[in-house]
Structure 1
Amino acid sequence: MMNHEINKAFRSRLEKGSAILMPGAANALAARVIDQLGFEAVYISGAGLTNTNLGMPDLGFVSLPEIAQHTSAIRNSTDLPIVADADTGFGNALNVQHTVRTLERAGASAIQLEDQVNPKRCGHFAGKDVVDIVEARSRIKAAVDARQDPNFMIVARTDACATQGFDAAIERAEAFVEDGADITFIEAPRTIEHIREIPNRLSGTPQLVNLVVGGSTPIVDFSELDEMGFGLVLYANVALQGALKGMHDALSMLRDEGRMDESGPVASFEVRQNAVNKTHYDEMEVRYSTN
């Protein structure tokens, strides 16, 4: 499927009103599993990329070329809409324009931009700070102007809850909508009451809520968040946290017992090959064989 078709279908799906449960992927393999399990969209997590590929915490170490490379790989592995985490846009408004065009060409369906200072940090870490509202709005305006496909969406995230309070975060989100943002994202609300207020006070624009296992935001059932009116319910790193636990379990058993077979806490060889669509490549080899 062509990118513009994916983008158009994604926007149309969001406009239906019911929430989309969206897991994050740190690599193409995770994206394939998300696709195979029937999810409707995939999120490329900057934190996940940093943890998985650099073995470092989410403190602004990942770069635009790295995000673009993984976006392209994930687009090659699935036709799901991709929401790409672009952190702060990697600089000023001019850098934001370059970031949008780079990730749109790489195959993203939407780009997430936030209002933190550089270098940014995980939304659930202490010590965050945000830029002033003028600079924050300039990032969103530049992103809106830069997109080539009108159905490519801009997700405007604010981290102002942590430094300026919930009402200030709402005000920033309202300003981002005025600047053309398609989806707004108030990061790390700390109470269920605040979670409930977000779609009520920002009605008319889809809202994204980010649930981090072990993070600052209370975990709320998907069905309840759907009823509240959220458009996207994000679990950015459940796949990563599940994989990390699986690695610990499997490698601990291997260390302790000195052997591993398919009765252990591992996916079977067949499941592994199915995850990467091995039969498709077998069929292609036969089709294009010169023998």
Structure 2
Amino acid sequence: MGSIDTSRGDATIFKSSAPLTGGKRLRELLKDPSKVVVCPGVFEGLTARLAIAAGFDAMYMTGAGTSMSRLGWADLGMATLNDMRSNAEMIASLDPSVPLIADADTGYGGPIMVTRTVTQYARSGVAALHIEDQACRQDTQVQEKRCGHLMGKQIVDRDVYYSRLRAAVATRDSLQSDMLIIARTDANQTYGFDEAIERLQEAVRIGVDIVFFEAIKTKEEAVKICKIFEGTPCLLNVVPGGVTPLSTVDEARECGFRIVIYPGLCMEPMISSVRKELQVLKKTGQPSPSDPESGVRAAFVLAGLEECMAIDKLAGGKAYTGV
């Protein structure tokens, strides 16, 4: 094949040597005990492109952002496996060398559905997924699941949760996939710290790769969690305005976390800036002056214009000459 420089973008298929899979790359990043893998929350192609261009080592596909951007509805369990998987596949394909950690909610059902979920995520290029112990719409007499930092969550019994994780680990292993399985528990707000810890300890025995203790209430809790699970990477979820007080990468490192996700990092400024621009158009009858760094040309370049031009040229085409 040709020697196009395609370190960023869909044109990676033209590389002479295949890059590491997302799972392998994430495992490499986690080998360095002094490193914290920082994952900005992305929810569609443009925010993913921006995160890649900014040079982050990994990304996190937020379920809340996916629900809001694809469905236009709050994160209350309405997004389906197909919604989440297709979004994850698109994001993961933009640059396979940048691992994508993706929300997989409850696995979308019992062990059979979890098996299907894990299979589809693995084949979509996802580096890691997390499965939680909230109740889902398939559970009897259960209302919709919700964002981890909202109250009123309903938690399934331990055996139900463990069956999800066993199915996830067994499926990943049978596929001989490098994808990592993350066990998330939301039990802290409902049943307390000790229950959440016991659930994650059993998850480690089942064979998960990373633990995700949702809704940590104090820094003391955070330190204790990382000490209990020393040797197993711990993930910290930072939600401004949420119940967890930690916010900086340095704070996470001091506590012992190995991965930090910022689910709302891209979503919140997007809402703020777009709302302001819509108000400008509504009030003045014209948009704000164009910003060269975010104009149409810059957006096209960010989203792979130059890679597409290089592919066309390599193939002998002239479709983009002079663009």
Q: TM-score range by the shorter chain?
A: over 0.9
Q: How high is the TM-score relative to the length of structure 1? A: 0.94
1:97 aligned to 2:115? yes
TM-score by length of 2: 0.85
Contact 1:121 1:128 in 2 (8 A): yes
Greater shift in the superposed pair: 154-163 or 117-126: 117-126
* 2:84 alignment counterpart: 67
1:47 aligns with 2:64: yes
User: How much has 1:150 moved relative to structure 2?
Assistant: 4.6
Distance 1:256 1:149 in 2: 57
Query: Is the contact between residue 246 and residue 265 of structure 1 (CA under 8 Å) also seen in structure 2?
Result: no
How far the C-alpha of 1:265 sits from its partner, in A, is: 11
Pair 1:81-2:130 in alignment: no
In the TM superposition, what whole-angstrom CA distance separates every residue of 1:214-261 from its partner, at most 9, and x where no partner exists? 222113321121122101011012101111111111111121221124
Residue 110 in structure 1 maps to residue 132 in structure 2: no
Determine which of 224, 235, 254 is the counterpart of 2:251.
224
Q: What residue in structure 2 maps to residue 188 of structure 1? A: 215
Q: Structure 1 residue runs of 4+, over 6 Å off?
A: none
Distance 1:4 1:287 in 2: 24
Q: What is the identity, as a one-letter code, of the residue corresponding to 2:120?
A: T
User: 1:238 maps to what in 2?
Assistant: 265
Could you say which residue in structure 1 is the equivalent of 2:159?
134
Alignment of 1:167-178 (within 5 A): 167-178=194-205
C-alpha deviation, 1:10, in angstroms? 1.2
Between the aligned partners of 1:57 and 1:3, the Cα distance in structure 2 is: 36
Task: Report how far residue 263 of structure 1 moved.
Answer: 4.7
Q: How far apart are the structure 1 equivalents of 2:259 and 2:27?
A: 12
Q: Is the 8 A contact 1:4 1:151 kept in 2?
A: no
Q: In structure 1, what is the equivalent of residue 3 of structure 2?
A: none
Find the aligned partners of 2:263 and 2:62 in 1 and give their Cα distance: 6
Alignment equivalent of 1:255, drawn from 278, 282, 285: 282
Give the one of 263, 273, 279 matched to 2:306.
279
- Distance (Å, rounded) in 2 between the aligned partners of 1:72 and 1:275: 19
1:72–1:107 CA contact under 8 A, matched in 2: yes
Instruction: From the superposition, tell whether residues 264 and 253 of structure 1 become closer, same or farther in structure 2 (CA, over 3 Å).
Output: farther
For 1:178, the aligned partner's letter is: R
Structure 1 residues 107-159: Cα deviation after superposition (integer angstroms, max 9, x where no partner): 10111100001132110111101111111111111100001235210000000
Return the offset for 1:29: 1.4
Q: How large is the Cα RMSD of the aligned pairs?
A: 1.8
**For 2:250 and 2:317, how far apart are their aligned partners in 1?**
54
> Per the alignment, in what secondary structure is the counterpart of residue 126 of structure 2?
coil
In 2, the alpha carbon distance for the partners of 1:290 and 1:159 equals 53
Aligned residue for 2:266, secondary structure, equals: helix
Deviation at 1:92, TM superposition (A): 0.5
- Structure 1 residue 212 and structure 2 residue 222: aligned? no
Q: Given residue 168 of structure 1, which amino acid in structure 2 is its aligned partner?
A: E
Give, in whole Å, the separation in 2 of the partners of 1:186 and 1:271: 39
Q: What 5-or-longer segments of structure 1 have no aligned partner?
A: none
The answer for the alignment partner of 1:31 in structure 2 is 48
Q: Which moved more, 1:38-47 or 1:252-261?
A: 252-261
Structure 1 residues 290 and 31: CA distance shift in structure 2, 3 A: closer
Change (3 A) 1:127 1:3: farther
Match of 2:169 among 129, 135, 144: 144
3-state SS in 2 of match to 1:7: helix
State the distance in 1 between where 2:302 and 2:308 align. 12
Provide the identity percentage: 34
Q: Aligned-pair distance for 1:264?
A: 6.4
1:75 and 1:3 map into 2 onto residues whose CA distance is: 13
Q: What is the match of residue 24 of structure 2? A: 8
CA distance in 1 between partners of 2:93 and 2:181 (Å): 22
Structure 2 unmatched ranges of 5 or more: 1-11, 13-17, 137-143, 319-323
C-alpha separation in 2, matches of 1:104 and 1:51: 24
Q: Which SS does the other structure have where 1:238 is aligned? A: coil
